[in-house]
Structures are given as C-alpha cells and as structure tokens.
A = this chain, B = another copy of it.
C-alpha cells in the first residue's frame, strides 16, 4: 500500500493523508460509540478534483472507500469495518457555499458543508433551507443527502431528497458527473440524482448539490394538545391538514409515559394540564402572512378540535419562549429515556391511517412476550414516522433486557412489515440493518438493487458491506 499512499500524498498533499493512530481515531468510531473500525488511512481532499483523483487511485489499487461527512449517522454507515483494508475519505474540507440564487430559490453547496452553516447561509439571503435535525451542528449536507435525511420539517417540505434539485458526483471509477442543475422540470433521462440520494455512499461520492430554498415564514405558532388516544391524534391531523394545509409544519405525537419520563428526569419541565391524559400532540403552524393570522388560524383549529371532542385540553404558546419550552419537552424525550436506562429503539414508518392499530397491536404482542416492558412511543406522526422504543420492565436489569434485543426487534419489525411499514424511516441501513432488510424486501427488489450496484460499482469499492451485502 506504500505506492498507493505515496500517490495519494502526491495528489492532495502529504498532510491530508492521515495514517497515525492518534490522527485517524476520530474518524473510526460511530456517533453513538457502539463500534470502532479500522482504516489504513484517512484521506482529506480539498475539492471535487482531488476527490476524483483519490477515487481513481482507489480504483486502480482496488482500495475500498468509506465516504464520511460529519460521521453522525446512527446505523454504522460512515465508519469502516475492522478489516483495515479501506480508507476513510473525509469530505469535510469540501465546505464552500458555491452560490446562492434568491430568484431561482436555490443554493449550490459542497457536500462537506455543515447543515447548520447551510441553513444560516440561506437565512442570510432571506430564505429558508428547511432540513433540520438533532445533529445539524455537526452533520454535513453530503451525509444528509446520502442517507436521505428526514427530521422535523418533512411534513411540509419533504425529506432531503425533495430538497435537492441537482448533484455533482464522483463515480467509483473516479469520473465526474456534473448534474448540478437548478431546474424544477427536466425530463431528459434516468433519474440519477435520486439514485445517489439515499444510496449511503455505495454508488459514488456526492461532492456538491443544488438545494431548493423556500420563503422564510413570517410567524410560527405552537400548541400542545392533550388527547385520549393515537386515533384521536389521527383525527386531529386530518382536521389540521384540512384547515391549515401547508401551514401545518409540525405534528409530533408523544405518549403520557414520554412526558412522565421527562418530568422525572427534568423536573423543571412541567406541564400545567389539570389532569393526566393518554396522548399529547405538539403541533406547529408556520405562516407567510402575520403573527395575528397565525394566532387566529391556530386558535380556531384548537377551538374546533375541542368542540368536536377530538382534543381534551390544549396549551397554546403565546410567546416564542413558551413555544421553545414546548419543543424542549419533545426534544428531551430521548435524553429522559437515556437517563432512565437502556432502550431498544426502532425508527419505523407506517401508513398514517394504521398507526393507532399498529401501536395497540404491537404493544400487546410485546406485553405478551415481555411482561412489564414500558413503551416510550413518540415521533413525527404527520409523516407516519414513529420512534417506537421499548424500555425494560421496572424489575429487570438493563443488561438482561438488552440481551433480548434481537427478539424484541423481530416482534416489532415483523409487525411493522405486516402493517405495510418500513423498518428504517429516516436512519437508513448502513452496517446495522443490512441483514434485516433481506428478511423484509422481496427477492426481486434485492436483485434489482444488486444489479444496479454491480452496474455502477463492479469492483465493489464504494462503502462495501453497507446497505447491501
């Protein structure tokens, strides 16, 4: 590998080819610190041409490549395996905002740009880049696109896929595909863009993208509604969509137990409802007109829902601080969960209409198999995306329960599948679920995916062992 490394050093400068253990360590462990892989080098090109030069060398020397952005993924997609045969190709030096066009409502960014910087550059131009997720201070837009990231604004703006008009990609042969088109309509061939989006770096390396921007909303309003059941939450969702249409930008379901956990571990976050309710919905409206208009819209919606007995009680935030406090509760659920002990987590999606049935039915199956388990169920109900997490029974230990993870996953995922859902709504497959999808996808689908992988990366050097095996 000396010849390969020397050629890399020649191509991008010796200081950007890291081989010392203390320099490479940060690139080899995943975000949740569940696995540490091994790479014989971490290579950090500065621009698209340098990426292409490195990939050509990998192609020539048959060196597997693990592309990496902010390394914040949750499915071990951006770290190498233990074989020490691959390089990590870090895109973080490709961090330029290349252009912003506020009339076309697009921006062209390099894939190593941190999501928060992309959001900020859009805001500086008076526009909204709506993709937003917990790791936005560290994750990169290239990683967001490669994993088709979701987040909190999917209900209104779609996933990362729907926010991208064009891509620049380095192929596994080190060739450059310039698909950086800022067009809303272009019917001139196969949709390569959407093939690379969500491919988790297994078909090529995204080096830049043209992103879609939206107008900045003039006002945002938040409310927390208390309801009897997930089915009532579905009725509220339909009512909100009919009345508010695209002004509805957030619709998050949380069970009572989620709020109990938050109250237990963060006692300063208490809710002022007079009684305990079974379910809560955090809903957010974004308005293009005015504060007053947003207020009226939200108050009329809640009033109507109370009158129709869909909602039992509600808190409407009357200030930005109150609104932030409501979101804070939602965002503290994972933290409260962690404080309570280990959890077996599931990132699933379902047809929205069956979510009530799915929760009832899966809860029952789990109680039968694991009496006393405690369900921490919350998620982006408006997108059909549930974080359906299972906490151990009060009397059981963390370790004892976690040993049964495979069985718990099987119960949940089998039921997701039977309800027509997906076992990975927004986190992807990576090295964590590539065997699981073999159970749920048809042989035809796996064969089609393999044919595409084989056609575009016949050497199998792009992120091998991820997504498909």
A interface residues (Cβ-Cβ under 8 A, vs B): 101-106, 147-148, 150, 154-155, 158-159, 161-162, 171, 175-179, 181-192, 194-195, 197-199, 203, 214-215, 217, 234, 237-238, 241-247, 288-289, 297, 349-354, 380, 383-385, 420-429, 433, 437, 440-442, 444-445, 448-449, 451-456, 467-468
Contact = CB atoms under 8 A, between A and B. Distances in A.
Contacts of A349: 183-186
A384 B185 contact: yes
A300 to B, nearest CB: 9
Given A176-B444, A194-B194, 11 more contacts: A103-B234, A106-B351, A148-B191, A183-B425, A185-B380, A185-B422, A186-B425, A187-B426, A189-B467, A215-B242, A245-B246
Contact of A190 (B198, B245, B423): B198
A176 to B, nearest CB: 7
A190 B199 contact: yes
B175 A444 contact: yes
B445 A179 contact: yes
A228 to B, nearest CB: 17
Nearest to A216: B242
A99 B91 CA distance: 45
A161 B103 contact: no
Contact of A177 (B184, B195, B352, B442): B442
Contact of A195 (B190, B246, B429, B468): B190
Contacts of A420: 181-183
A449 B452 CA distance: 11
Nearest to A101: B353
A187 B198 contact: yes
Nearest to A177: B444
A190 B445 CA distance: 9
Kindly list the 7 A-B residue pairs having the minimum CB-CB distance in the complex, ordered from nearest: A455-B455, A245-B288, A103-B353, A194-B194, A186-B422, A185-B425, A246-B246
Nearest to A433: B188
Contacts of A424: 186-188
